Structure 1
Amino acid sequence: MELNRQLIWKLTVIGLILLVLWRVISEPDTISRVLQYTFQLLTPVIMGIAIALLLNTVLSYMEERFSLKRYQGLLIVYVTFIGLLVISAVTLFPRIYSSVASLIEELPFYIRQLDGFVGQLNAFLQDYNETIAQTLDFKRFEERYSGWVETAVLSSVSYVSSFTMTLINFLIGIVISIYLLKDKEVFARMFKRLLYALFPVATAKTTIDIFQEMDYIFKRYIIGKSLDCLIIGVMAVIGLLIIRAPYALLLGVIIGILNFIPYVGPLLGMIPAFIITYFYDPFTAVLVLVFIFLLQQFDGLWLGPKILGDSVGITPFWVITSIIIGGSLFGLVGMFISVPVTAMIQVILSRLIDYRLSRKNLNELL
């Protein structure tokens, strides 16, 4: 009877695996859709876990340093955390909103400027190569792109809706993080009991060690990168104000946020800053381009390594690959979280490879 039950269980698992494989092969986008839906559904929980991981270090330090009770530490940490968010929103958001509104109002000006530039390019091509000019066909540019303003307005409405949903998820995430930190010892004990109940003792210990290492990598990377982006954002705002670039605050915030994405982020921040400034003054745009390039070199060669060190321990190839995969699956959010997630996966694979090699007595040879 016991043998029949085991056979039925194995056949059921194999059947489910084959069903999933068939689904993936017949509809290649299935995994992407399932992952996106799962990610959207669990966004508040993921945010809550992330906030709890970030604030847990501060909470633990305050409890040990000042002998605070749990509710006292939670009150101080969250009042400070929410207070900093409110102060940032009150001081920065109105100015950023004003810059965005002004930018949308001046969009027709940009279109006319771009139309003039394309006209000059068309005339240049006609003078030097009639065939290329006919192939590119830049005529009637303004008619072709006359719907840009309407598209920009619709995109703005979409962004406002997305921002509202993100804000709601963030608020729910804060509530979840409070309960996680309040009973963190309970959750840790439940997790350990579950591991020891399901797996051999050695496997359970190794799993706990892996999670502790991933927790260390995640906190070190997120906190260090946040500090790095804050410094770069402030330096960008100050530099752009000195250069007298338009929308210095908005562009500085964009540069600071996108700097969170390694390698790709600095380029993404450089492009809008150059384009927006170019329509006002090409010479200033060149100064902006040179300034941002030097700022990113300073960050990549000195500031970033000084703050982060080798916090994730993965090569640039895997960093770029993870950013591409994360961006294709989850958009901009996927690009932000791809590096720490890849670092965590690397920890698991590294432990698994070491274990398998040790079983074969190949660690010393490899």
Structure 2
Amino acid sequence: MELNRQLIWKLSVIGLILLVLWRVISEPDTISRVLQYTFQLLTPIIMGIAIALLLNTVLSYIEERFHLKRYQGLLIVYITFIGILAISVVTLFPRIYSSLSSLINELPVYIRQIDVFLGEVNNYLKDYNATIAQAIDFARFEDRYSGWVETAVLSSVSYVSSFTMTLINFLIGIVISIYLLKDKEVFARMFKRLLYALLPVGTAKTTIDIFQEMDYIFKRYIIGKSLDCLIIGVLAVIGLLIIGAPYALLLGVIVGVLNFIPYVGPLLGMIPAFIITYFYDPFTAVLVLLFIFLLQQFDGLWLGPKILGDSVGITPFWVITSIIIGGSLFGLIGMFVSVPITAMIQVVLSRLIDYRLNRKNLNELL
């Protein structure tokens, strides 16, 4: 009877996996929408867990160092955390908003410049070869630049709406993180009891070790990468101000934030800085391009390894692959969180592979 139950259980699991694979292959868009909806639904909880994990180290330190009670430690940690955020928003956001508004107002001028440039290219091609010019058929934008402005305004409204939703989720996440940290020992004990109740003792212990390792990787990567991006962002702003680039604060913040994405982020931060500066002055744009390139080399070759070390332990191939998959499924946020999530998955797979190889006595051979 016990054997039949195990067989039915295994067949059910295999059938469920095959069903999910079939749905993924036959209707990939449906699966993508379900994942996106699930991610959006769980975003406040995910943010709360992330904030709790990040602040837990600080909370534990000040409680042990100064012998504080839990509510005292929470007050100090969250007052400091929210205070830093508030100061950053009050000092940076108005200036960034002013730069962004000015950039949007000057957008029609930039579009006219694009129109003139494409017109000159079109005339050159007509003189060179009329057939090529007709094949390429560069469109004139003189009567349509207002449509570009309208699209830019609508995009700005969409970004504002997205920012508002992210802010609401973040505030809810802060509340969730407070309750998680307040009763963290209770949650940890419940989790351990659940694992030991459902799994064999050895498997439960291994699972707890895996979660502890994943927690270490997550905190080390997020804290280290945040510090790295902050330094790069500050250096970018200072350098752009020295060069005389327009919207130096806005462009520096963009460079710093996008630097959070390995490999792809520096390129994404370099492109808008070059394009925006090019309309202001082509020579300055070349200086901006060279400066950001050198800054990213400094970050990749010295600063990043100095701060992060081998914090995630995954190869560049898997880093780039995870960024592509995360970006295609969840957009920019997916690109931000794809690397630490991939590192956590690697921890689980590595433990599973070692376990299976040890059972087959193949670990020493491989």
Partner of 2:248: 248
How many Å apart are 1:125 and its aligned residue? 2.3
Partner of 1:308: 308
User: 1: distance between equivalents of 2:222 and 2:337?
Assistant: 9
Partner of 2:86: 86
Moved more, 328-337 or 140-149: 140-149
User: 2: distance between equivalents of 1:261 and 1:139?
Assistant: 35
Amino acid at match of 2:207: T
Gaps of 5+ in 1: none
Over 3 Å counting, the alpha-carbon distance change for 1:259 and 1:214 in structure 2 is same
User: 1: distance between equivalents of 2:171 and 2:116?
Assistant: 46
Number of residue pairs the alignment of both structures matches:
366
Q: Secondary structure at the match of 2:362?
A: coil
Partner of 2:149: 149
Over 3 Å counting, the alpha-carbon distance change for 1:143 and 1:292 in structure 2 is same
**For 1:259-298, what aligned pairs fall within 5 Å after superposition?**
259-298=259-298
**For 1:173-252, what aligned pairs fall within 5 Å after superposition?**
173-252=173-252
Q: Is the 8 A contact 2:229 2:256 kept in 1?
A: yes
TM-align CA RMSD: 1.6
Over 3 Å counting, the alpha-carbon distance change for 1:15 and 1:241 in structure 2 is same
Moved more, 133-142 or 336-345: 133-142
Partner of 1:54: 54
**For 1:10-49, what aligned pairs fall within 5 Å after superposition?**
13=13, 16-49=16-49
Over 3 Å counting, the alpha-carbon distance change for 1:304 and 1:11 in structure 2 is closer
Residue 122 of structure 2 is aligned to residue 126 of structure 1: no
User: 2: distance between equivalents of 1:263 and 1:14?
Assistant: 38
How many Å apart are 1:122 and its aligned residue? 1.7
The normalised TM-score by structure 2 is 0.96
Kindly provide the CA deviation profile for residues 56-96 of structure 1, in whole angstroms up to 9, marking residues without a partner as x. 01111111111111111100000000000000000000000
Over 3 Å counting, the alpha-carbon distance change for 1:14 and 1:305 in structure 2 is closer
How many Å apart are 1:171 and its aligned residue? 0.1
Of all paired residues, the percent bearing the same amino acid is 90
Kindly provide the CA deviation profile for residues 85-122 of structure 1, in whole angstroms up to 9, marking residues without a partner as x. 00000000000000111111111001011111112222
User: 1: distance between equivalents of 2:31 and 2:260?
Assistant: 27
How many Å apart are 1:22 and its aligned residue? 4.0
User: 2: distance between equivalents of 1:17 and 1:210?
Assistant: 23
The normalised TM-score by structure 1 is 0.96
Q: Secondary structure at the match of 2:365?
A: coil
User: 2: distance between equivalents of 1:326 and 1:184?
Assistant: 30
User: 2: distance between equivalents of 1:362 and 1:21?
Assistant: 30
Q: Is the 8 A contact 2:108 2:145 kept in 1?
A: no
Amino acid at match of 1:255: V
How many Å apart are 1:13 and its aligned residue? 4.7
